[in-house]
């Protein structure tokens, strides 16, 4: 994929991908302006919980002015509970090249409702260091699965042939 590996479009919209540069410090907020809590889990990393506090409909789900900041040594974990009408701020360093999932552990349907992302971390290092074993490539070939190109196995941004996004029926 070369330099295109840094463009999240080549991974297709179904993946909800974010491309991270090696050793970049990533910080994000998860707001939960709803009545049910959500447990989020990150593969490939432990993160720091640097802040938590209330959020609500009055702020459009964004953190309110009052909050709880962590002390000088923020707690480290790979799973966090985001309580009803609260938010958490998480931080980690992109120091583990790979493709990692960050998702809600509640009911499988939450993945399809946007409560899951794929973190494509240090694609330039992955392209240099990771080698797909020949037997894996042969298995893909036998099933008609491309082993090069974008998410659809095509060059560039051509996503022709990509399966449609998954939708839950009610």
The token pair that represents 94 in the structure block: 């992109």
3-state secondary structure 25-92: EEEEEEEECCCCCEEEEECCCCEEEEEEEEECHHHCCCECCCCEECCCCCEEECEEEECCCEEEEEEE
pTM of the prediction?
0.84
Contacts of 4 (CB under 8 A, 6+ apart): 10, 150, 156, 157
pLDDT at 169: 44
The helix or strand, by DSSP H or E, that contains position 135, with its residue range, turns out to be: helix 134-143
Q: Is the pLDDT of residue 64 over 70?
A: no
Q: Is the pLDDT of residue 93 over 90?
A: yes
Alpha-carbon gap, residue 98 to 16, rounded angstroms:
16
pLDDT at 66: 58
Higher-confidence residue of 101 and 73: namely: 101
Q: Is the pLDDT of residue 154 over 80?
A: yes
pLDDT at 3: 87
pLDDT at 156: 92
Average pLDDT, the chain: 86
Higher-confidence residue of 164 and 5: namely: 5
Give the pLDDT band (50/70/90) at residue 62. low
Give the pLDDT band (50/70/90) at residue 63. low
């Amino acid at each position: 994929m070369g330099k295109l590996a840094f463009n999240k479009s080549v991974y297709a919209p179904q993946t909800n991908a974010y491309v991270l540069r090696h050793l970049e410090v990533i910080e994000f907020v998860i707001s939960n302006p709803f009545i049910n809590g959500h447990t989020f889990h990150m593969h490939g990393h432990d993160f720091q919980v640097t802040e938590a506090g209330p959020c609500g409909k009055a702020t459009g789900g964004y953190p309110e002015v009052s909050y709880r900041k962590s002390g000088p040594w923020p707690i480290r974990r790979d799973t966090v509970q985001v309580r009803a009408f609260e938010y958490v701020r998480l931080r980690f360093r992109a120091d583990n090249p790979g493709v990692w999932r960050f998702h809600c552990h509640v009911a499988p349907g939450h993945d399809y409702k946007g409560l899951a992302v794929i973190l494509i971390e240090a694609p330039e290092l992955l392209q240099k260091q990771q080698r797909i074993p020949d037997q894996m490539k042969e298995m893909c070939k036998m099933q008609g699965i491309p082993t090069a190109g974008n998410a659809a196995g095509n060059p560039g941004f051509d996503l022709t042939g990509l399966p449609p996004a998954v939708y839950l029926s009610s």
